[in-house]
Amino acid sequence: YVTVADNVNEQVVTGLKADTSYTFAIKAFNEAGKESELLSAKVTTAKPSSGSGGSSSSSDDEENKSSNLSSGNTDLNDLAIWSNGRKLSLTPSFSPNITHYTIKTKAEKIELLANPAKDKSKLTLQGKPLGNGQEVTLKEGENKFEILVQAENGKKKSYIITVIRESENSQETKESNEFNEPKSPVSSTIEFNDSVGHWAESYINQASARGIVGGYPDGTFKPNNPVTRAEFTVMLAKALKLEGTAAPTEFADSTQIGAWAKEAIDRMVQAGIVSGYNDGSFRPSASITRTEMAVMFARAMKLELAANAVSPFADDEAIPTWAKGAVNVVHKIGIVNGRSQNQFVPSGSATRAESAAMLIRMLEQEEIQ
């Protein structure tokens, strides 16, 4: 087998025999260690072409050594809608296999951006080529847009985006904005329509009832979405019930920190639980990694870290040295678990579901002590 980087879209296979059948299989892995379904294709290399002398030309020989397949992949690998510098959230969340989405906004104009899974695929918006992004004007009410993906082999797939432009007098107070603070739960019995049956459903409901986490205006929690550094800092601050006034903290990107998160971040920095990066930034909209989260839990609980700690995870060597003690101790007390195949996935983005589960486990540990 051959392993390629994530930016490689084509692979030339050499050394093949003429007039021979081969099966090619592809499997993708994300940084969390999860794998895709196996995709396979069976091909037969060309027969040798014979001339009057019964021999094939050198160019024919070279052609028989490789097989180039026209891709039939009609997926998008990214779909984003922007308005006034803000990325609007899709309902449901984007997945290449989901072809219908809804968005609510009060904006007069939006920008649609899409990237195909294969570079040679062609994209059109409403029948016209879609380049590096297309700005469109919205009418009040429902606006439907079709992004058509045509694969290299001619196969097609449509993605339909329904954008509902609400009037300025609409009672809806927030549009679907990924960088807005999720709304607070309105009752202790709230259930999110996309979390029923989820492995973390109980944790999510408990965290919601305690006022630690909230959902979105459409009634979803988006449990599998990554959680940002700002979001998790606010969640942990609520769980710890940090009070008092903290001195304003200045980061190189302080202007990017939303007002809804600023006070919590100031308190958490003052408490020594969270910090910025070497370049002076906080990166509020960056997904928090599982390593960063483990370290924050260890600091928040004032846990004693063992020197030269070794965790039981299969990828222990990938855990940064500065975080090994924290990862090991928060795992030992049952706050952080591994993912599939006993992998900790230190650089993987923590999800909203994982965040809720870990926060409740932390509180349970605090109640025991």
Residue 277: its pLDDT value, please? 92
Residue 43: its pLDDT value, please? 72
Note the pLDDT tens digit of each residue in 200-239: 999 999 998 888 998 887 788 889 999 999 999 999 999 9
CA distance 21 to 220: 49
Query: Which structural domains are found in the chain, ordered by start?
Result: 1-69 (no CATH), 76-165 (2.60.40.10), 201-368 (no CATH)
Note the pLDDT tens digit of each residue in 116-145: 888 888 999 988 888 767 889 999 888 999
Residue 184: its pLDDT value, please? 41
Query: E-assigned strands of the chain?
Result: 21-26, 39-44, 76-83, 86-88, 100-105, 109-116, 122-125, 128-129, 134-137, 141-150, 156-165
pLDDT-derived band at 188 (thresholds 50, 70, 90) equals very low
Chain mean position to CA 45: 39
Neighbours of 119 (CB within 10 A): 10
Residue 217: its pLDDT value, please? 76
Residue 220's SS3 state is coil
Note the pLDDT tens digit of each residue in 40-65: 676 777 776 544 444 444 434 433 43
Assess whether pLDDT exceeds 80 at residue 338: yes
Residue 29: its pLDDT value, please? 62
Residue 61: its pLDDT value, please? 42
pLDDT-derived band at 177 (thresholds 50, 70, 90) equals very low
CA distance 306 to 15: 53
Neighbours of 15 (CB within 10 A): 6
Q: What distances in angstroms separate CA 110 from CA 11, 41, 66, 80, 92, one per listed residue?
A: 37, 39, 45, 10, 18
* Average pLDDT of the chain to the nearest whole number: 80
Residue identified by tokens 């879609």 is 130
Single pTM value for the model: 0.52
Mean pLDDT of 262-284: 92
Cβ atoms of 341 and 322 within 8 Å: the answer is no
Residue 93: its pLDDT value, please? 79
Q: What distances in angstroms separate CA 127 from CA 121, 133, 296, 297, one per listed residue?
A: 15, 14, 49, 51
Burial category of 19 from C-beta neighbours within 10 Å (exposed 0-12, middle 13-18, buried 19 and up): exposed
Mean pLDDT of 25-39: 60
Residue 98: its pLDDT value, please? 84
Note the pLDDT tens digit of each residue in 79-112: 888 877 677 888 887 888 888 888 888 888 888 8
